[in-house]
Amino acid sequence: AQTVTQSQPEMSVQEAETVTLSCTYDTSENNYYLFWYKQPPSRQMILVIRQEAYKQQNATENRFSVNFQKAAKSFSLKISDSQLGDTAMYFCAFMTNNNNDMRFGAGTRLTVKP
């Protein structure tokens, strides 16, 4: 079974600073996909970034980038130039290549302070 672990229940960062959220996972699969989703107070799940395991290059989306370490099964999210609107729950998620169901970590509550 695949498991996703987020070891930081809560984090805070000053506006304009950089913060890194941790995620590790466990799987015996070789092909899979990793995601970071953001859930603001509205509770709408918003895709932040997606990484395909067979790609060595780390995914980047504007201020969001990942550090994907396949051997270590680590998938951290870096948020640069943090903005107040980044305040939300962040979930790391895993999806195998066999089906499309997604497994989520417990989440990290990020607060960006002015």
Partner 1 sequence: GAVVSQHPSRVICKSGTSVKIECRSLDFQATTMFWYRQFPKQSLMLMATSNEGSKATYEQGVEKDKFLINHASLTLSTLTVTSAHPEDSSFYICSAGPGTGRRFGDTQYFGPGTRLTVL
- Residues forming the site for partner 1 (CB under 8 A): 32-33, 35, 37, 42-47, 50, 52, 91, 95-107
**Beta strand 64-69 pairing with 10-14:** unpaired
Minimum distance between the CB of residue 72 and partner 1, rounded to whole angstroms? Answer: 21
Cα separation of 17 and 7, whole Å?
Answer: 21
Cα separation of 45 and 60, whole Å?
Answer: 19
- Of the two residues 78 and 109, which places its CB atom closer to partner 1 in the complex? 109
- The DSSP bridge partners found for residue 43 are none
- Of the two residues 16 and 46, which places its CB atom closer to partner 1 in the complex? 46
- Of the two residues 17 and 61, which places its CB atom closer to partner 1 in the complex? 61
Minimum distance between the CB of residue 39 and partner 1, rounded to whole angstroms? Answer: 9
Cα separation of 89 and 13, whole Å?
Answer: 14
- Of the two residues 19 and 94, which places its CB atom closer to partner 1 in the complex? 94
- The DSSP bridge partners found for residue 65 are 60, 78
Minimum distance between the CB of residue 16 and partner 1, rounded to whole angstroms? Answer: 27
